[in-house]
């Protein structure tokens, strides 16, 4: 059920006052242009961009610089919805310019890329943006035809899958690998990796309450807010505090998300973390012995405004792993009604040292599968493994 | 799988919840509780002694009940949680948001003070 965007090219309006950008984009994206995957049009500032959007009603996404004469990118973001409500915008900003990135996100930007542009990253960002737009468009078209609930659940599942990173870092100093196995009709797990300054990496595993489109929307906001906050603050407790406050605003439906967030520094091996009501991760030693990561003061995000989150840190030794998971793992049930529980999770690691992050994650999910033995899966099963090499 | 037995003690409603609250019955749970709450109630005590499982959808239903009670200046109190249910409340941090008492009598006593 992937959105079909191969039939017509994704039309992208690039807004930048730098005259070289058009040439650079056409050159670096020549393969995609030739294969009719993307079509680019260009504008030199916000005013020109709005005129182009009026003229080209088939534009899918806008890729805009922030600082431009006449009308800047942030003002443009405010104007786009009235001209082209279905267009999604991606902002190009200077690396580390958190203030503008936060502002752009608050004004409805879908994502951002940083300068100097990494074109591989840009391709992924464009693809993801176009896929999401296609999902929305197909949902809008089919909403009258299909059974509403089924439709919503499938769209929600696709939204959920679309925000999960699919490629993982594996360097000489650390590896990350994550996987999410969605339940058929409930669930709202997601995981995320956020690359930060000085080689540090933010790692998140989260579980949104509720189901369907509202939960999927809440998941999207949680992820976007987390990404924004992770760039704006350096410690996990403050990051969760900010995400929590923003999620609490106008949350009449009492949705919430449990979220574990840690920042790993590959140089020192230190994992600094805060926990918003999520299951405490498991730390696995190089010898395969396991224990729980010490808990910190926390509450699920979205329900307790102004909560002051605790924070702690642990240093991972070479070969040690942090296994961050959702309750879909420990609460998976077999036919006898028994739950998987923590002890069986520990068993996965016992006596089998020196596994890489990928094998560990795959083994955890396989062990839960084997335990459930065909019993229906009631909740999403997510596992993210961080291993220091 | 889920059963709610309610008993009225003046303007305090006591609800004994049995079985599981999860995505499959959370709507029935919410409706069962909402149907018996009166506008004049000042507290609802949920007795979780026989509750064996609660999912995040169930936690949300509890929270929604607490919120709607708040609008009428009433409180939601929980009591008699098994170790497993207590753990769910502790991990999610819900024990910091909702008052939890060891027994129904303790919950009632807290209303007197």
Q: Tens digits of per-residue pLDDT, A13-41?
A: 999 999 899 999 999 999 999 999 999 99
The rounded distance, in Å, linking the Cα atoms of A329 and A331 is 6
Which of B22, B23, B92 is the closest to A258 by Cβ?
Answer: B92
B93/A298 touch (CB, cutoff 8 Å), yes or no: yes
Task: Report yes or no: A278 at the B interface, CB cutoff 8 Å.
Answer: yes
Handedness of CA A282, A284, A290, A291 (dihedral sign): negative
Domain spans of chain B?
A: 2-107
Residue A375's H or E segment, with its range, is: none
The band of A147, judged by pLDDT with boundaries at 50, 70 and 90, is low
Mutation to test the B interface, candidates A303, A305, A324, A332, most B Cβ within 10 Å: A303
CATH number of B2-107: 3.30.750.24
Cβ(A250)–Cβ(A291) below 8 Å: no
pLDDT at A3: 40
Phi-psi region of A210 (alpha: psi -120 to 50; beta: other; left: phi over 0): left
Instruction: Please name the residues in contact with A221: beta carbons below 8 A apart, sequence gap of 6 or more.
Output: A246, A247
Asked whether B59 and B94 are in contact (CB, 8 A), the reply is yes
A303 vs B contacts (CB less than 8 Å): 63, 97
When scoring A207, A209, A293 by the number of chain B Cβ atoms within 10 A, the one with the most, hence best to mutate, is A209
Q: Which of B64, B92, B97, B98 has the highest number of chain A CBs within 10 A, making it the mutation to test binding with A?
A: B92
Query: For residue range B38-84, what is the model confidence (pLDDT) as tens digits?
Result: 999 999 999 999 999 998 889 999 999 999 999 999 999 999 999 99
- The reply to whether residue A210 touches residue B60, judged by beta carbons under 8 angstroms, is yes
Chain centre to alpha carbon of residue A369:
25
Residue A73's pLDDT band (cuts 50, 70, 90): very high
Torsion of CA A207, A163, A135, A221, to 10 degrees: 60
Q: What is the pLDDT of residue A149?
A: 61
- Determine the 3-state secondary structure of A146 from DSSP: coil
Query: Chain B residue with minimal CA distance to A328?
Result: B55
Q: pLDDT grade, residue A5 (50/70/90)?
A: very low
- Within 13 Å and on the Cβ side, how many CA atoms surround A184? 7
User: What domains sit in chain A, N to C, each tagged with a CATH number?
Assistant: 10-139 (3.40.50.2300), 164-388 (3.60.40.10)
Scan for tokens 């009308």, then name that residue. A71
In this complex, is the C-beta atom of A254 within 8 Å of any C-beta atom belonging to chain B?
yes
Query: To the nearest whole number, what is the mean pLDDT of chain A?
Result: 90
Q: Pick the closest to residue B94 from A164, A46, A123, A302 (CA basis).
A: A302
Residues B23, A186: C-beta atoms closer than 8 Å:
yes
**ipTM (interface predicted TM):** 0.85
Two tokens, residue A313 = 């840190």
Say whether B60 and A186 touch across the interface (CB within 8 A).
no
From the list A186, A253, A279, the residue facing B91 with the nearest CB is A279
Q: Which of B56, B64, B94 sits opposite A207 (nearest CB)?
A: B56
CB–CB contact B94 A210 (8 Å): no
Size of interface A-B (CB pairs under 8 A): 57
Question: If you measure CA to CA, which chain A residue comes closest to B53?
Answer: A331
């Amino acid at each position: 059920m992937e959105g079909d965007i191969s039939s017509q090219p994704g039309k992208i309006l690039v807004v930048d006052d730098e005259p070289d950008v058009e040439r650079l984009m056409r050159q670096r994206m020549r393969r995609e242009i030739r294969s009719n995957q993307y079509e680019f049009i260009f504008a030199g500032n916000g005013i020109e961009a709005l005129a182009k959007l009026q003229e080209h009603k088939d534009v899918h996404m806008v890729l805009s610089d922030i600082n431009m004469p006449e009308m800047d990118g942030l003002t443009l973001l405010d104007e786009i919805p009235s001209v082209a409500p279905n267009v999604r915008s991606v902002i190009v900003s200077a690396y580390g310019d958190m203030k503008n990135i936060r502002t752009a996100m608050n004004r409805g930007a879908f994502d951002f890329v940083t300068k100097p542009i990494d074109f591989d990253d840009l391709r992924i960002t464009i693809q993801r943006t176009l896929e999401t737009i296609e999902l929305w468009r197909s949902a809008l078209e089919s909403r009258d035809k299909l059974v509403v609930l089924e439709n919503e659940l499938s769209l929600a599942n696709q939204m959920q899958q679309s925000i999960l990173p699919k490629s993982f870092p594996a360097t000489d100093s650390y590896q990350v690998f994550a996987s999410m196995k969605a339940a058929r009709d409930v669930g709202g797990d997601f995981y995320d990796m956020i690359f930060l300054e000085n080689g540090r990496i933010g790692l998140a595993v989260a579980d949104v309450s509720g189901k369907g489109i509202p939960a999927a929307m809440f998941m999207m906001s949680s992820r976007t807010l987390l990404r924004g906050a992770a760039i704006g603050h350096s410690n996990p407790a403050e990051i969760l505090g900010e995400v929590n406050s923003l999620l609490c605003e106008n949350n009449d439906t009492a949705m919430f998300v449990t979220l574990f967030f840690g920042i790993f520094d590959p140089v020192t091996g230190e994992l600094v973390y805060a926990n918003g009501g999520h299951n405490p991760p498991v730390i696995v030693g190089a010898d395969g012995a396991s224990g729980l990561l010490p808990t910190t003061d926390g509450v699920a995000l979205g329900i307790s405004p102004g909560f002051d989150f605790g924070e702690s840190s642990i240093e991972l030794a070479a070969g040690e792993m942090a296994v961050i998971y959702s309750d879909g793992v420990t609460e998976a049930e077999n036919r006898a009604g028994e739950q998987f529980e923590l002890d069986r999770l520990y068993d996965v690691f016992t006596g089998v040292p020196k596994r890489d992050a990928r094998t560990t994650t795959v083994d955890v999910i396989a062990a839960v599968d084997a335990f459930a033995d065909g019993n229906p899966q009631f909740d999403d099963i997510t596992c993210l493994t961080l291993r220091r090499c | 799988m889920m059963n709610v037995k309610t008993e009225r003690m003046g303007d305090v409603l006591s609800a004994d919840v049995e079985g599981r609250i999860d995505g499959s019955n959370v709507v029935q749970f919410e409706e069962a509780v909402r149907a018996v709450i009166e506008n004049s109630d000042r507290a609802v005590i949920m007795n979780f002694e026989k509750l064996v499982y609660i999912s995040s959808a169930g936690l949300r239903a509890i929270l929604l009940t607490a919120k709607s009670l708040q609008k009428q200046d009433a409180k939601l109190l929980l009591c008699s949680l098994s170790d497993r249910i207590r753990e769910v409340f502790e991990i999610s941090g819900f024990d910091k948001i909702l008052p939890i008492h060891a027994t129904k009598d303790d919950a009632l006593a807290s209303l007197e003070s």
